[in-house]
Structures are given as structure tokens and as C-alpha cells.
Amino acid sequence: MFHMREARALGALGDAEAIRVFSHALSLHQDGARDSDPRWAWWLDDDEMCIQEARLYSDLRSWHESIRLHSDHLEWVARQAGGALM
């Protein structure tokens, strides 16, 4: 979670290094939860990581990538809801 927030902060500053930091955060997330992770970090799931990545690209003013990621996420949510959102 720290690296995801670090990436978002770098993105807000317009620093392209944010993409590398976020990629590292995503890699750590995909490794799964650790015993040392705080219990309140339950909300940081694949869904949230998709949203944060899309917002990171918005922070970096990479509009096409941000829109693509938001669209992909919305399609995934619609599939999970049985298409009820579309």
C-alpha cells in the first residue's frame, strides 16, 4: 500500500517515475497478503488497484490510458454484476 500511495503522490507531482513505482506496488500486491500486513488493509484488492492505476494515469495527464483503464474496470464490474450496469 505504501508504494501505491508513493506512486500516486509522484503522479500528482507529474513525475513519470510514478509508473515504475506503481508497477512495483502491483507486483507486491500480486504476491498476496503477508502476515505483517495490517488488518485494515483488506480493502486493497485487485479492484482497488485497477482504480488506482487509472487515477495514476489521470494524475500524469495521460488521458487515453486513464480512460482505457477506467473503461476496462467498468466492463469488469459490469461482468461481475451480470451486465446490470450497462
**DSSP string for residues in 46-77:** HHHHHHHHHHHHHHTT-HHHHHHHHHHHHHHH
pLDDT at 7 over 60: yes
Quote the pLDDT of residue 62.
Answer: 95
Quote the pLDDT of residue 30.
Answer: 77
Secondary structure (DSSP) of 5-58: HHHHHHHHTT-THHHHHHHHHHHHHHT---TTS-GGGGG-SHHHHHHHHHHHHH
pLDDT at 4 over 60: yes
- CB contact at 8 A, 34 and 12: no
Query: Which of 2-6, 19-23, 26-30, 67-71 bottoms out in mean pLDDT, i.e. has the lowest?
Result: 26-30
Quote the pLDDT of residue 57.
Answer: 96
pLDDT at 86 over 60: no
Q: How confident is the model at residue 42 (pLDDT cuts 50, 70, 90)?
A: low
